[in-house]
Structure 1
Amino acid sequence: MSGIQKLVLRRIGLGIVTLFIVSLLIFIGVELLPSDLAQEILGQAATPETVAAFRRELGLDQPAVIRYLEWVAGVFQGDFGVSLANRRDVAELVAPRLKNTMFLAGYAAAIAVPVAVTLGILAALFRNSIFDRLANVFALSSISLPEFFVAYVLILLFAVNIPLFPSLARIDDATPFIEALYRTFLPALTLILVVIAHMMRMTRAAIINVLAEPYIEMARLKGVPRYKVILRHALPNALPPIINVVAINLAYLIVGVVVVEVVFVYPGLGQLLVDAVAKRDFPVVQAVGLFFAATYISLNILADVLSILSNPRLRAKA
């Protein structure tokens, strides 16, 4: 077995252990919530006998360890339980919301990643120029503003003052693709403005760091144009940190959409999670939380592997 294969297997193993720990923390967090779940669902007028019977129906009369092991065993079999709010299978509730969240994340990523990398390369190419300074001011401003503030400003500008786009991003399976792009433009733009700054600054910093290497100076002494030095020599060796920051921001586009989806009432996983918390629908909360954790861990593992594969020196060390 090669070093790369061992590294991949080791990363996957660590990811599985991390996911197991996160699942335990999610279950413990739900268990530590105050009040009796059965009492909350039935109301204060319910008799003790009714509450006890409902607790047995939900399995709440069993020890926490047994319930956790049953939940994990069900997850491995694709069974996330039954919603307490409407008695539907959790997987049926999550599937369409997951599709919508992935659509929004893909929409934002398709624009944010190439734009951020291009701006980062240009900022490194024209270092300390007016363009570089303006790009850094824009990046710092975007990083400093929270998502909900950016979302409300965009709604005020492009849905109220200049009514170009809807303030509510309502889509379903019957919505045509172009119409879905139009309706979700403002939430996608919010995500783009939030994540593009991190990727641009990391791209710029990584390329500038590589430009200090001796082989870059040798290429310059040979008369290689500056843009070729960056594209052919600096960028390939600056890929590992760029891949890492892109993967982290892609994970954010999927995991960190809760606030954006709530602001725009977008029918995704974030909105489903908030509704489930409000209704104390804990099987849904656990399923969505576990999916978010698995997504973040998987993208970080993928970033580690791609960072090594994209750099000959790191491949040699592996």
Structure 2
Amino acid sequence: MHPVLSTVLKRLMLGVLTLFMVSVVIFCAVSMLPGDFGQAVLGQSATEDAVEAFRQELGLDRPAALRYLDWIGALATGDLGTSFSGRSSSGIDRSRPVAELVAPRLANTLFLASVTAAIAVPLALFLGITSALWRNSLYDRLASAGTLVTISFPEFFVAYILILFLGTLWALFPSLAAVEPEMALGERLYKSVLPALTLTLVIVAHMMRMTRAAIISLLASPHIEMARLAGESPRRVILRHALPNAWAPIATVIAFNLAYLVVGVVVVEVVFVYPGVGQLMVDAVSSRDIPVVQACALIFAAAYILLNLLADVIGIITNPRLLHPK
């Protein structure tokens, strides 16, 4: 078997094992949430008999190991379970499948992440490459200082600053991103400006600095030094020798930062009350809706692991030692 194929298969197997371990952590963490799930779902007015019947109906009185195996078995068939919300102490059951709750929210989160990536990736690559090429110049110092300041602030702080200036003092954009499925694309984009801008500022800062470091490291490589010693012009060195070999580390940087973007939407969605998976998970934690919490957490974990695997695969298939083994 070719070394590249075998290495990629090993990474994929490691990703599956990692996702399995993460599922165990998610299940244990949700199980350790304080309070009684039955009481939290049915409300304070529920009697002890109703709470006990509710727990028995959902299998909450069973050992944790058996409940985990049931959950994993259902996931293997594509069943995310049934939400606890909609149940009441009066016996009325209006609960919905978790997939129906998650699907529209996931579409909103992917929309926000796509808009952010479409803006952040080209901008970060431009700033990172130009800063590396004009290293130690005034432009490089200003770009590095600006991104360092942005990185120093957490996402929620950046979000509140944007709300203050662009949503309150100068009411250019709505402070609450209340998007709905029937909205036109233009209106959806308009309402998503502030959360997308918040994520863009954070992602651009991380990606720009990582891209700059990757390009600087590449420019210091022996083949670039040989090209310079051979008398080739700086423009030819960059265009012919540096940039064609830089796409692999740049693609890895993009994949890692997109993974960070998927996880970072949680805080931003809560601040702007954006109807995405992150907001759904926070609401589900508050209401002790176990199936929804587990499904949302597993979606975030799977996306993060998948994008990190993509970064690893890109690095592997572009490794000359693996592509051309002796």
TM-score relative to the length of structure 1: 0.95
Which of 136, 141, 149 in structure 1 is aligned with 2:144? 136
Alignment partners' CA distance in 1, 2:79 and 2:216: 49
Bigger CA drift: 156-165 or 295-304?
156-165
Distance apart, 1:170 and its partner CA: 1.4
Residue in structure 2 matched with residue 284 of structure 1 by the alignment: 292
Give the secondary-structure state (helix, strand or coil) at the position aligned to 2:103.
helix
**Which of residues 266, 270, 273 is equivalent to 1:262?**
270
TM-fit CA distance, 1:37: 1.1
In structure 1, runs of 5+ residues without a counterpart are none
Partners of 2:27 and 2:47 in 1: CA distance: 28
- Larger mean CA deviation between 47-56 and 69-78 belongs to 47-56
Shift of 1:197: 1.2
- Of stretches 198-207 and 35-44 in structure 1, the one that deviates more from structure 2 is 35-44
| Aligned counterpart in structure 1 of residue 103 of structure 2, from 86, 92, 95 | 95
Distance in 2 separating the partners of 1:124 and 1:43: 59
Matches within 5 A, 1:114-153: 114-153=122-161
Residue 21 of structure 2 is matched in structure 1 by 21
Map 1:1-318 onto structure 2 (within 5 A): 1-86=1-86, 87-316=95-324
Q: Greater CA deviation, 167-176 or 227-236?
A: 227-236
Post-superposition shift, 1:278? Answer: 0.9
SS of the equivalent of 2:194 reads: helix
Distance 1:315 1:112 in 2: 31
Which stretch shows the higher mean deviation, 186-195 or 203-212?
203-212
* Conservation of the 8 A alpha-carbon contact between 1:94 and 1:269: yes
Matched residue count: 318
Whole-Å Cα distance in 2 between the matches of residues 166 and 55 of structure 1? 42
What's the offset of the Cα at 1:317? Answer: 6.0
The alpha-carbon deviation at position 315 of structure 1 amounts to 3.1
Q: Distance in 2 between matches of 1:226 and 1:233?
A: 10
1:227, distance to aligned residue in structure 2 (A):
3.5
Gaps of 5+ in 2: 87-94
CA contact (8 A) 1:206 1:241 kept: yes
Distance 2:241 2:212 in 1: 14
**Which 10-residue stretch deviates more, 160-169 or 221-230?**
221-230
Q: 1:257 is paired with a residue of what secondary structure?
A: helix
RMSD: 1.7
The CA deviation string for residues 269-311 of structure 1, in whole angstroms up to 9 with x for no partner, is 1110111111111110000000111001111111111122234
When structure 1 is superposed on structure 2, of 244-253 and 73-82 the one drifting more is 244-253
Name the TM-score, length of structure 2 as normaliser.
0.93
**Identical positions, percent:** 60
Whole-angstrom distance in 1 between the partners of 2:274 and 2:179: 8
Which amino acid counterpart does residue 26 of structure 2 have in structure 1? I
| C-alpha distance in 2 between matches for 1:160 and 1:288 | 32
Residues 25-50 of structure 1 show CA distances to partners (whole Å, capped at 9, x for unaligned) of: 11111111222211222334433322
Amino acid across the alignment from 1:31: S
1:164 counterpart letter in structure 2: L
**Matches of 2:315 and 2:4 in 1, distance apart?**
12
